[in-house]
Amino acid sequence: MPYRRVQPDLVSHTVVMDVLCKAGRVRDARRMFDRMIQSGLSPDAVAYSVLIAGYCNEGRLREARFLLMEMVGYGFSSEGFALKVVVESHVKFSKLLTCLNMVAPIRKHGVVIPSQSYSCLIGALCEDMRPNAARGLLHWMIEDGHSPSLAMYNMIVECFCQCDIVEEALDVKVEMISREVRLDFNTYRALITCFCRLGRSLDGESIMAEMIESGFQPNEAICSALVCGFCKEGALNRAELILRAFVLDFHVHCNESYNALMRAYCETTSSKESLELQNRMLELGFVPNSETCRSLILGLSKSIDLVSSDDGFSCISSKDNGGNAELRGMDMIASEYNESPGVVYTCIPFPRVIQ
């Protein structure tokens, strides 16, 4: 059979280029790409995508962007894969602003950015605490005909809340409702915690009421946010009402909230009021732990009636009983505050502390 010289076609060139790129020989793949064009062959979307992926794997994003824009300029309709690779590579190397500047002109060419690329870039912008840019990208996504998912909206709401821009977060919430995207627990949690952190706990409580009406039950994290928020604002009665409601209505015993309320009472009220609160908390089922004990001791030590029997406190020094004493038939639980073995300086009539 006579030997015949067969000129390699576009597929042959593309296969070899792919092998070279995967072997880390992107420069050789580019030479073959150029020779292919010189031989009269016109590269297709696959050939461009292979070389673009090779550049991205080596972190040569400028060359990848140049090829992508060239590809778009030729009007290839299947640029989705190449664009996805370029966007993900820019995110990987934290080139978010450069990526946004690339996406804008591409859209002007009529190219529809894939939903996955939007999701990747929005997530990266939120991680970088750029909620306004992420929201702008969300609007581009809607203009391109995509429907943002609940997860995307929640990322943006969470980001606005972490940046303490709660009004913008509320605007996103309104947009979600208008687009019939049902808010979930995470949406409400982010808004409630942000309001409480900003000293707007009443607004946070209103969001919780809306959350309950939507069929979601608040948990310990929301209880902690509200109670701690009201305590910081000095609304101790409101904080106690919230804590009581969580116990009675939702069967949630949040020890963090309990200790925050006890600490606030000890720092701002009298010894008598603090002990009365402790009795009410015991009735709700809260068991004092070492943090509760510490708050009471440090707070009540500032009171002038520390040794008053009306407050139920007594300063005791006992070396004969090995550091254990009885006060009104209840356990003494101040041993962790002793300055020396066998000496008890402060005793509190609590049930045994849970460490």
Reduce the secondary structure of 53-103 to three states and give it as a string.
Answer: HHHHHCCCHHHHHHHHHHHHHCCCCCCHHHHHHHHHHHHHCCCHHHHHHHH
Same structural domain for residues 60 and 101?
A: yes
In a domain, 165, yes or no: yes
CA 261 – CA 336 distance, rounded (Å): 22
pLDDT in tens, the chain (355 residues): 455 565 667 888 889 899 999 998 999 999 999 988 888 888 888 999 999 999 999 999 999 999 999 988 887 765 578 899 999 999 999 999 999 999 988 888 888 888 999 999 999 999 999 999 999 999 999 999 999 999 999 999 999 999 999 999 999 999 999 999 999 999 999 999 999 999 999 999 999 999 999 999 999 999 999 999 999 999 999 999 999 999 999 999 999 999 999 999 998 988 889 889 999 999 999 999 999 888 888 776 766 444 444 444 443 333 333 333 333 323 333 433 333 333 333 333 333 333 3
Residue 335 to residue 343: CA distance in whole angstroms: 8
Q: Are residues 23 and 98 in the same domain?
A: yes
Residue range of the domain that includes 148: 122-179
Same domain, residue pair 135 and 109: no
Q: For residue 316, tell me if it sits in a domain.
A: no
User: Residues 108, 162: one domain?
Assistant: no
My answer on whether 158 and 105 are in the same domain is no
Looking at the structure of the chain, the number of domains it has is 2
* 171 in a structural domain: yes
Same domain, yes or no: 101 and 19: yes
The residue assigned the tokens 């509190």 is 348
Q: Is residue 63 assigned to a domain?
A: yes
Q: Are residues 46 and 126 in the same domain?
A: no
Q: Does one domain contain both 23 and 99?
A: yes
What whole-number distance in Å separates Cα of residue 175 and Cα of residue 55?
39
Shared domain for 103 and 130, answered yes or no, is no
For residue 37, being part of any structural domain is answered with: yes
Domain presence at residue 17: yes
Answer yes or no: do 14 and 107 share one domain. yes
DSSP label at residue 334: -
**Which residue among 179, 201, 217 closes a domain?**
179
Same domain for 108 and 15:
yes
Residues 105 and 21 in one domain: yes
- On whether residue 25 sits in a domain, the answer given is yes
